[in-house]
A and B are shown apart, each in its own frame.
Chain A
Amino acid sequence: MNDTASGVRSRVSDIRGSWRRWLPWVLVAAVLTYPFWVDVWPISYLTVDALGLTLYVAVLILVYVMLALGLNIVVGYAGLLDLGYVAFFALGAYAVGWFASDRFSGVSFHLASTTSDAIPGIHINFWLVLLIAGVVAAIAGVIIGWPTLRLRGDYLAIVTLGFGEIIPDVFRNADRLAVPGGVEWSLPFITVSYVNLTGGVRGVRALDRPGFGDQLDSVTGGILPERFSGSELRPWYFTILVLVLITIFVIRRLEKSKMGRAWIAVREDEVAASAMGVPLMRTKLWAYGIGAIFGGIVGAYYGSFIGSVFPTSFFFNISILVLCMIIVGGMGNIYGVILGAVVLEYLNFTGLDKIGEGINNGIDLVGIDQSIDIPKYKFLIFGTLLVIMMLTRPEGLIPSARRKAELHEAEEEGPETTYGDLYDARREGA
């Protein structure tokens, strides 16, 4: 009796084991070859018509995967609730606006750019701009983080929220930015003139597209195109895929490094970590800065992909959406975060519309003359998702073992601690 049971169990675990072995490879293969079969006729019924999962949507999903991975460093590893991550995303996009467009048409500066030299403005090679965007975001991250990271957890949340909120305002208003020097008006000691840094509500248009130049193009027979085009999305897809893979590689290396272990120590118990010789500020600042770098880089890619940046593209909602992805997927677990980002960005961009369509078609079939506007309830759906996740499975769909143990610590300790430290896991001995 017992033997049979254990035999069945071992066979079940065998099947599950093999499932675990082949599934990742199937997924990797599917993602790598995705652009080649998404449009093929019989499959396109499912992918494009039914699911709405076009290559364009896939690129956006990957953008959010990278954003979520970046924010995961800050929230998932270091445990700093950052509600203004969109600021770095926006900065990255505006970095492309500044360094790779005709925004500053007064000057003409070309650096290994694929854009014709005849076009005025600053045009730096896109791949360099990606790095510049990362640097710009990192500097901003340090400037924001340095004074604020010493604050208590929920104060940090509100300050980062504030930064995330004023960033679109600043970009919107920076079309008339007073700078010292000039003639427009003067105070006793300084003269001031206005510069148009961001184009205000009209934003910056016609951002440069990435490209590899004509030499690489001809050598590789068009596999590395001279300039990416708006109609051919495959190079875009592979670019963001490579960026995501680099991000995953870097994060996996960081996770096990001294810095990564310091982040987790700080997250679990600041006081204990500090007593063990972990420099709190430096550790937190690194987490914040590295998170910002990834946000900036993906922002630059996004700006170039969309082709123009507006202050309205970077509202608070993005910060919360990315946070939702991390929480739903599983804080601190790369695979969980990727899953969360894929599911939520798909639902956000097209999935909910498709579901709404499906429901409305179903209602029509039954013969009820009414329609439901599902996207209108997006806020409601995401909010409910957050609350339900927190109440039932705070560790996310694919949890990291450590995080799970942390979140369920209270349940194991029994009910008498419920009053002890409300909303707080940092128990002090008692």
Chain B
Amino acid sequence: MTETPVPARVAARRLPPASDVLRWVFGALIVLGLGYWLIGEAIADPQRFLQVSVIGFSNGMIYALVALGYTLVYGIIELINFAHGDNFMLGSFQAQSMFVDGSFQIPLLFGTLAIPLGTAVSLDSSAWQKVYSIAFTIVVAVAFCTAINVTIERIGYKPLRASPRLAALITAIGFSFILQGIGLAWKGPGRVPVPPIIPATPVIEVDGVVYYTVKDLMVLAITIPALLLLTWLVSSTKPGKAMRATAQDRDASAMMGINVDRTISFTFALGGALAGVGGVVYALYIGTTFFQLGFRLGLIAFTAAVLGGIGNLTGAVLGGILLGMIAAYNDGFGDARWTYTVIFTILILILVFRPSGLLGERVPEGQ
């Protein structure tokens, strides 16, 4: 009574469905069009093209740091942690207080508790003072953002693990608003300037055209070690292994004796730490911050995570850098007013045409 199995050759010979072909054609057209435009600009003005690329790369590294936080959390519990971008914003605020007031500040409801640490620096401070101040600021901002992220996870997300996903998502939006409110009460509604600390002294300069500055170098000097540390933590340490196991199969890891709650908290801690580093780099590189910064930058970073394949750490970095470059090219050669729209169009196109991202997503199995 068994049915005759369909010969494999017939299945293999069948053409892919028309919608797939259309998708590929459409995708190829977009990539080709983009390539044509960029190569055209590169030939027309190679110097400017290189400069814009460097700016895009540095911005992209910052996006990558924030995107990693989204991707880590999404990979383990499939939750878009909307509050992550705002956590990054608070990190940049903390960096601003460290650099300008020289104190670690804890924003309370109707005032700010400041612990002076003597880390105030300016452009004229000595090199050692700057290094000390930046290193100390990174440590403080990392601790600050980690504490926020872990607290949010403990108060908000943990009790909702068994609830419908919508409930956790809405809680995340609620926390995003709370953090924005804290930021608003802390530094006010205006733009918060961070005075220049790292000079834009050229590192690579050809014929009076500046290609690479100390500022860009600083971004790499902070983000590369942070990324290496993250890779080591995730791939070689026990909590990192527990994290990967939990992301793959939560039930099985619990049966193998992995403390799933602690592992999830660890993931949030890692995300928070990256947001802290990102906040410091952003404050140093861009030189101004804003209480609603986390919202827009958070969305860009999330787009980066999706672009690279959510849950995929390498993908998040790649996506961040790509988005940074695309944004910079549009700012430089297109119309800066449309940059945000372009980034969102990319997000929508990716979700529609290739929801698993460039490098493929890694989310908990069995969903």
Which residues 161-187 of B have a CB within 8 angstroms of A?
A: 161-171, 173-182, 184-185
A85 at the A/B interface (Cβ < 8 Å)? Answer: no
B77 at the A/B interface (Cβ < 8 Å)? Answer: yes
Could you tell me how many residues of chain A have their Cβ less than 8 Å away from some Cβ of chain B? 55
Given known A-B contacts A391-B156, A423-B79, A153 and B165 have beta carbons under 8 A apart: yes
Q: Identify which of B169, B180, B251, B367 contacts A157 (C-beta below 8 A).
A: B169
- A419 touching B184, Cβ below 8 Å: no
Which 7 pairs, one residue from A and one from B, show the smallest C-beta to C-beta distance? A380-B181, A383-B177, A386-B174, A379-B181, A410-B162, A383-B178, A387-B174
B355 at the A/B interface (Cβ < 8 Å)? Answer: yes
- B299 touching A387, Cβ below 8 Å: no
Q: Identify which of A148, A377, A425 contacts B163 (C-beta below 8 A).
A: A425
| Alpha-carbon gap, A418 to B251, bound state (A) | 10
| Alpha-carbon gap, A159 to B353, bound state (A) | 13
Which residues 115-167 of A have a CB within 8 angstroms of B?
A: 147-148, 151-155, 157-159, 161-163, 165-166
Q: List 17 A-B contacts (CB under 8 A).
A: A83-B173, A147-B348, A153-B166, A158-B351, A163-B348, A169-B337, A380-B177, A380-B185, A387-B174, A387-B178, A391-B171, A420-B251, A421-B367, A423-B77, A424-B165, A424-B367, A425-B163
Give chain B residues whose Cβ lies under 8 Å from the Cβ of A394. 163, 167
- A407 touching B169, Cβ below 8 Å: no
| Alpha-carbon gap, A428 to B302, bound state (A) | 29
B254 at the A/B interface (Cβ < 8 Å)? Answer: yes
| Most B-side CB within 10 Å, residue of A147, A376, A383 | A383
Q: Identify which of B157, B182, B340 contacts A169 (C-beta below 8 A).
A: B340
B36 to chain A, nearest CB (A): 12
B222 at the A/B interface (Cβ < 8 Å)? Answer: no
- B348 touching A390, Cβ below 8 Å: no
Given known A-B contacts A148-B348, A377-B181, A423 and B168 have beta carbons under 8 A apart: yes
Give chain A residues whose Cβ lies under 8 Å from the Cβ of B169. 81, 153-154, 157
- A170 touching B159, Cβ below 8 Å: no
A9 at the A/B interface (Cβ < 8 Å)? Answer: no
Given A165-B344, A380-B182, A421-B367, 10 other A-B residues pairs in contact with their CB atoms under 8 A: A154-B80, A154-B169, A155-B355, A173-B337, A173-B338, A377-B184, A379-B181, A383-B179, A386-B173, A406-B164
A417 at the A/B interface (Cβ < 8 Å)? Answer: yes
B41 at the A/B interface (Cβ < 8 Å)? Answer: no
A327 at the A/B interface (Cβ < 8 Å)? Answer: yes
Chain B positions within 8 Å of A, measured between CB atoms, are 77-80, 109-110, 155-157, 159-171, 173-182, 184-185, 250-251, 254, 260, 295-296, 299, 302-303, 306, 335, 337-338, 340-341, 344-345, 347-348, 351-352, 355, 367
Give chain B residues whose Cβ lies under 8 Å from the Cβ of A387. 155-156, 171, 174-175, 178
Give chain B residues whose Cβ lies under 8 Å from the Cβ of A379. 177-178, 180-181, 184
| Alpha-carbon gap, A173 to B337, bound state (A) | 7
Q: What 1/0 flags go to A355-377 for Cβ under 8 Å of B?
A: 00000000000000000100011
B131 to chain A, nearest CB (A): 36
Residue of B nearest to A200 (CB): B337
Chain A positions within 8 Å of B, measured between CB atoms, are 79, 81, 83, 147-148, 151-155, 157-159, 161-163, 165-166, 169-170, 172-173, 316, 320, 323, 327, 372, 376-387, 390-391, 394, 406-407, 410-411, 417-425
Residue of B nearest to A379 (CB): B181
Give chain B residues whose Cβ lies under 8 Å from the Cβ of A386. 170-171, 173-174, 177
| Alpha-carbon gap, A392 to B184, bound state (A) | 27
B89 to chain A, nearest CB (A): 12
B243 to chain A, nearest CB (A): 14
- B173 touching A320, Cβ below 8 Å: yes
- A162 touching B347, Cβ below 8 Å: yes
- B181 touching A383, Cβ below 8 Å: yes
